[in-house]
Structure formats: C-alpha cells, structure tokens
Chain A
C-alpha cells in the first residue's frame, strides 16, 4: 500500500499511534516539579525586584549597608523530594479497628474497619465502603478502593504475606506491614487523588510471592490478576470497542489488556478489571452490562478465540450477525439491546459451523 493520499496517511497514523499504551500519568512528579519551577520563577522575579530596589537604595544612599543584610536571611526551604505518602501501623493508643494511618502531603489520614467489614477513610478523605476480609482467588492480595479528597486503598492479604511494597507512579516506595484486625490480615494506605500506583509486590519474608502492575487509566489503580515472580508481562493493548449513545447516555467502552489482566473502562463512569483469560467456551461471556437482563441497554461480552460467529435471532424472523473484535486471545462484542425488535435467541458458532452455545432471549 502506498500512502498516496492524505486520507491514507491519516488512517495509517491512527493505526500506529492508537496502539501506543502510555505508562501511568506521572501526576505527583509533574505537580511537584511544576510547583518547584513556579517557586523558582517567583524567587527569580523577586530577586530581580530586590536588586532593582537595592540599586535605587545605594544610589540614593538612603539605606547604607542594605545589601549586607541578605546574609542574615533564613535559607529558602528546600522542596521535599521524598515520597509524599507516609503509612504507619496502628499504635498503642490507636482506636479499635484501625488498619493504618499516615499522611499525604502533610494531611493526616486513617483507615478504620468494623467487625462487619465496613470501612471508613477518616481524616482527609471522608468516604465509606466495605473491606474484603480475605483475598479472592489465588492472588495473595485483594484490594478495594475509595475515592474522597484522597484515594484510599484497603484490603486483605493471605496469611503468608508478611509485607507489601507499593511503588507510586513517581517511583517513590513505601512498605506496608499487614495487621490483624478482628481476626483478618489487612493492609491499607492512601495516596493523592488520581495518583498512579506503579507496582504492588507481596512478600513472604524476603521471598516475593506475586506482583501487580495496576491499570491507572481510570483514575484509580485497578488490576484483575497478579503476576508471579519472573512471569513475563503480557503486552499492553487498548481498543475502543463501542462508542455511542444508549438509552440517552453516551458510552465509550475501551478494553485495556496488559499486565493488569483485562480492564474495561466506560466513559459513563464504570470500570472494572478481571483476569484476561476467557470464560468457558459454552458461554455468552457477558462481562459488562448497563441494565438488567431483558432491559434496554448496552452489553459487552468476551468470547473464546474458538468462537467464529455470534448470531441473534430477532422477533419477526430475521437474524443478525454480531461483529466480533479480536484482541489478544479474546474476541469482544458490543450489543445494544433495544426494546424492538426483540431478541428471541442467540447462538455462538465455531470455525466448522458447529454451534458452541446458545440461549433464549438476549445473551446474559
């Protein structure tokens, strides 16, 4: 193909540049260095003004020796370059249920849970949720997140986890010691809102058990799977599989595959991650829906690569072939469920035309 016209160039450039998956936003680095630069500029302009004043003063001999006083001025405070986040385990006088406390850029935070698993992110961020009391699946850590004025992360760790190292997007690190609260092994920390989390590593003593590289594109660190030490990172791929208005709401649904597993982000607000492995072949593989079964809305599914076609039978006798979008080892589809015409049934087929699965109504 020759890039013979401008349209070709546009398409090819889209194809090249849209495949790029940037690293997490280095938010804290940008903000910290931006503020340092701003301060330097102010100091520079203030120094210029002071010099001009001094020149006037010397010239008029009104305040002799003014320049010598500069030596007695206190030094300019240096920008703190270490991590802006501190984390501490509960102390002797900590309240019951405290998981951890610390500071974010000088603001104090505190994470407290109850016997029933309710959690409150007291202090700088006022938010509440519930904490998982044990890790789900084979991974040694399960984390939940709460957004307030700060971003709170909290969760459960396996019994063999003795420490957890967290690396933020700017490279700063801190280490968490799991605490036993109401019989559960828990960790917690808070970061500036929308700060990227680069990596979370679970250790048993000095032995690394597993590590997670979260997806940060939705403004909060998420992952669907942790990797084992030495396991190669899966390639990063992002693709928008649906954009449009459904029942009055605009949705732009993007799939992000990578070391975090499979993350789905929807411009309407929801996002979720799960392992990238497909579900069973005999399944409609629904991974996201904006309405309940049978209700008009958007439905996203992920199918095994062996599925070659998905066909819907519509009320009135017609059938519709659902476009499948291959990405990594999965095939995704997006389906807008409208009230009319009604979907009577669905079926998936293999390469030889054999039916793999099917069901009545819309896929569910």
Chain B
C-alpha cells in the first residue's frame, strides 16, 4: 500500500471510528466488545485497503466484517455465562444514566435474536433501505422484512414503562 493509500485509510479510520463503535454497541450492548469489533474490522480493511477502496463502499465492507465477526463470536464461544461471587465491573458506558425508556429499549434490543438486532440497527439507526440491509446481511429482502416486523413486534411488547407504572386498580 503506498503512502497516499495509507493516508486515505488513516483518514477513513479516524472519521469512522466513533460511528463503527456505536454500530458495534448496537449489535452487542457492550462497549468493550463494540470497540473490539470495530478494531477487528478496521485491521482487516487495512490489510485489504486497495481492494476495499476499489469495491467503492468501504463503510458497507467494514460493517459486514463487524457483523460476521460478531456471528463468529457467538459460534465459537456459545457465549458462556460464568457464575461469579462478585458482580461484574460496570460498563464503561453509563447506561444507568440514560433515561428509563432508552434503557428499556437497549435491554429489549439485547434480548432480540442476533439477526433481528442487526436488522434493527442497520435499518433504523444506520438508515439503510431493506435492499441495502439484505445485501449487507447476505439474505433476501423478504427475510429482512420479516425479521424487522418480528423485531418491532417484540420491541412493542417489551414496553416496560407500562409494567413499572402499574397502579392498584
């Protein structure tokens, strides 16, 4: 990779880092994992930067790597939960500082199956069309529609604010 391509990649990396970490956070709900995913994606993009650049949409390439890397994380580790006598360290992101409804949304989002969560983040946070989401996830547009529909239904059903505001009748 020549100096100009190096500089171009460096600029891309600095410009997109924040957005990629936020995207990763939407996928994982964990800032540490989100930063790992973003870093992994950027390392792979760096290794193939001339090819990525020629493909014309580096953002899509990097997001796709993050999605696949996160799938791999699930496949390899099966996400074991280890019981511990001490509570885990609090997340670096003060989720507790978020307004209730946003905490609820974050919790509900993390309860969605991974595919539905990815569709929600790509469709409603990144703002992709259904066709673009399908291309990114490597599935059909119909699949995206059904995943989005199911995800929205679950998010509606997870309206926790109703539960916490129950009053004696």
Interface residues of A in 154-211 (CB under 8 A from B): 193-194
Name the CB-closest residue of A to B100.
A1
Contact check: which of B17, B99, B120 meets A9 at CB < 8 Å?
B120
Chain B residues contacting A27 (CB-CB under 8 Å) are 10, 13-14
> Which of A28-36, A45-53, A106-114, A242-250 forms contacts with chain B?
A28-36
Contact check: which of A2, A10, A12, A23 meets B35 at CB < 8 Å?
A23
Interface residues of A in 12-38 (CB under 8 A from B): 12-23, 25-27, 29-31, 33-35, 37-38
B102–A16 contact, CB under 8 A? yes
B21–A22 contact, CB under 8 A? yes
B46–A35 contact, CB under 8 A? yes
B124–A13 contact, CB under 8 A? yes
Binary contact track B75-100/A, C-beta < 8 Å → 1, others 0: 00000000000000000011001110
> Would you call A41 an interface residue if the criterion is a C-beta within 8 Å of the partner chain's C-beta atoms?
yes
B14–A37 contact, CB under 8 A? no
Name the CB-closest residue of B to A26.
B39
Binary contact track A136-149/B, C-beta < 8 Å → 1, others 0: 00000000000000
Q: CA of A351 to CA of B98 in the docked complex: distance in angstroms?
A: 26
User: Nearest Cβ distance between residue B66 and chain A, in whole angstroms?
Assistant: 14
> Would you call A75 an interface residue if the criterion is a C-beta within 8 Å of the partner chain's C-beta atoms?
no
Q: CA of A15 to CA of B100 in the docked complex: distance in angstroms?
A: 11
Chain B residues contacting A16 (CB-CB under 8 Å) are 26, 98, 102, 105-106, 109
Chain B residues contacting A4 (CB-CB under 8 Å) are 156
User: Nearest Cβ distance between residue B103 and chain A, in whole angstroms?
Assistant: 8
Q: CA of A18 to CA of B93 in the docked complex: distance in angstroms?
A: 11
B124–A10 contact, CB under 8 A? yes
B25–A17 contact, CB under 8 A? yes
> Would you call B142 an interface residue if the criterion is a C-beta within 8 Å of the partner chain's C-beta atoms?
no
> Would you call A235 an interface residue if the criterion is a C-beta within 8 Å of the partner chain's C-beta atoms?
yes
A30–B42 contact, CB under 8 A? yes
Binary contact track B90-133/A, C-beta < 8 Å → 1, others 0: 00011001110110011001000000000011001101000000
User: Nearest Cβ distance between residue A20 and chain B, in whole angstroms?
Assistant: 5
B105–A13 contact, CB under 8 A? yes
Chain B residues contacting A1 (CB-CB under 8 Å) are 101, 159, 161
Q: CA of A2 to CA of B35 in the docked complex: distance in angstroms?
A: 30
Chain B residues contacting A17 (CB-CB under 8 Å) are 22-23, 25-26, 125
Name the CB-closest residue of B to A1.
B101
Interface residues of B in 6-28 (CB under 8 A from A): 6, 9-10, 13-14, 17-18, 21-23, 25-26
The 4 A-B residue pairs with the shortest CB-CB distance in the complex, in nearest-first order = A34-B46, A22-B21, A37-B47, A38-B47
Can you spell out 7 A-B residue pairs with CB atoms less than 8 angstroms apart?
A: A2-B161, A16-B26, A18-B22, A20-B21, A31-B9, A35-B47, A194-B10
Binding site for A on B (CB under 8 A): 1, 6, 9-10, 13-14, 17-18, 21-23, 25-26, 31, 34-35, 38-39, 42-49, 93-94, 97-99, 101-102, 105-106, 109, 120-121, 124-125, 127, 152, 155-156, 159, 161-162
